[in-house]
Amino acid sequence: MRPQLSDKKLPPYAVCTVCGHYAYSVMEIKKQCSQVVNKKRCKGIYRPALMRDDWKECPDCGRTGRVATGKCGKCAGVGWLYVNSHPKPKQKDQTVQPDLFQNLKTGPKSNRETG
């Protein structure tokens, strides 16, 4: 039996930067992930995944999240596979940003200062 259009799921709106959990509300974008593992809340942030090329329809279930034996194992029942290859943002304490404007802030030393 072919799935009906109403059985097909829409893709999620966001993906956690740490655990990969999906969010189904745009209100969750840029908020902390809601997943709890070992009694600790995930420290990731939901990153937007709103572009067409962020998602691929699951080939096993055809966007329904279900196969003959129950929940689809390939997409974990989501119906979609996240395929965006953008790198995950680094945690704030790991981010190293070069000071691209250093010369603008301090300016080059003039001859009067050095001589």
Model confidence over 35-47: pLDDT tens digits?
998 999 999 999 9
Q: Name the amino acid, one letter, at 3.
A: P
Question: Cα–Cα distance between 74 and 56 in angstroms, integer?
Answer: 12
Question: Cα–Cα distance between 66 and 6 in angstroms, integer?
Answer: 13
Contact 83, 55 (CB under 8 A): yes
Q: Does pTM top 0.85 for this prediction?
A: no
User: In the prediction, which pLDDT does 85 show?
Assistant: 59
pLDDT tens for 54-112 read 999 999 999 999 999 999 999 999 999 999 855 454 444 333 334 434 444 444 444 44
Q: Report the pLDDT averaged over residues 24-50.
A: 94
Closest Cα to residue 51, out of 8, 11, 7, 5?
Answer: 11
- CA-CA-CA-CA torsion sign (7, 3, 71, 33): negative
Question: Cα–Cα distance between 23 and 92 in angstroms, integer?
Answer: 22
